[in-house]
Amino acid sequence: VESLPWNATASRQKPSSPIVGGRPPELAVLRISHAPLPDDHSIVKVRAVIELSAPSSEIRLNGLPQAIQLLEERDPLHFVQQQQQILQDATSAADVSFQTSSSVSSVASSSITPTRPQLARSTTERSLAAEKTILSRVKRSYIYFSSLLQEPEAKWKRTTEARGVSVTQLDSIDPTLVVYRAEATFVGLGLWDLYGALVSPGARVFWDKQHKDTTLLEDVNELTQLWHLKTKPAWPVQGRDTVLLKIVYKSPTTIHVFSFSADDPYLFPSIPPQDPTLIRTQVDLQGWAIETLSKHHPAHLTRAVGSTRMVQQSKHTTGDDLCSGWRW
């Protein structure tokens, strides 16, 4: 691994037009890349010292100067105008008229000063009543999630403990209420590092052995997303899938990530139809509570708590499954 080739490139964007009354801002990008690792167990540790010289705007990497490439800003409108010019030339040469929607609108708007096209992100249009319904369900689920975190330790019955993970089950008088809590303390792992490992779809395959695929269906708002998750089949049970509404609340020392099933196509039109080869799982509540136990401890002690209640899957989910799923 120590002999892996690597390279570094630095680039700076050249402004297309000068700014009146001052020097245009300069943005330099330094990209460091290395060759692929030989296997999944290899780890590369890199120590990079980056220096920026203010007078000459020179970049040094580990004491060595890096040549900066100047990149010209590309205006998307320039390529649109080129395509229109090619279309007009082809029309004149063939003596035919291409009456397409794009050419007609281009000719009609040729006298109007062109503007740079805006990249708009499509969002689902909902009524005010639908927005209130979603907000009400989120508040109700968060109250339930917070109440589980505040349950006294005497009400949690320990089921198993392995790999530093303690799994307990809520002692409830309702036999249909099955709630598991998996708790662990990580030394040397920061709050945001653990959060990224838990919520990133790419990282989930390393700690969740049953995970198969994750698809983002919709960004409902800044704190809420709609996800479609699939799990691998485990003989003799088929694979499962579920559509979850995930909400994230963040603070400097605590992060709460909780989710619950979304099955109303009126509220969420992007819900995919049920696959006959999969079992659609209904999740009442699942979540993570990540918090820093000591602000001044150099090891960044962090605790993760997961509480889950599942319908149709509770008979197949045990504390051992939760404990074995954490691969840290």
Predicted confidence (pLDDT) per residue in 302-319, tens digit: 445 544 444 443 333 444
54 lies in the same domain as 146: no
Position 114 in a domain? no
Mean pLDDT of 98-112: 45
**Cα–Cα distances in angstroms (integers) from residue 126 to residues 15, 43, 131, 272, in the given order:** 41, 47, 7, 18
Helix (H), strand (E) at residue 34: strand 28-34
pLDDT of residue 36: 79
308 domain residue, yes or no: yes
Judge if 92 and 226 occupy the same domain.
Answer: no
User: DSSP 3-state assignment of 222?
Assistant: coil
- Read off the pLDDT of each residue in 145-151 and give the average, rounded to a whole number: 87
**Higher-confidence position of 2 and 146:** 146
Band (pLDDT 50/70/90 cuts) for residue 103 is: very low
The mean of the pLDDT values for the chain is 73
What is the mean pLDDT of the segment spanning 291-302?
59
Q: What is the mean pLDDT of residues 78-87?
A: 57
Q: Could you tell me which residue, 147 or 52, shows the higher pLDDT?
A: 147
Report, as an integer, the average pLDDT of 197-226.
88
Q: Which domain holds residue 13?
A: 6-72
| CA contacts within 13 A on the Cβ side of 162 | 11
Is 13 inside any structural domain? yes
Residues 185 and 299 in one domain: yes
HSE at residue 180, side-chain half, CA atoms within 13 A, is 21
Does 265 reside within a domain? yes
Percentage of the chain modeled with pLDDT above 90: 13
pLDDT the model gives residue 245: 94
Q: Could you tell me if residue 122 is inside a domain? A: no
Amino acid 96: pLDDT: 44
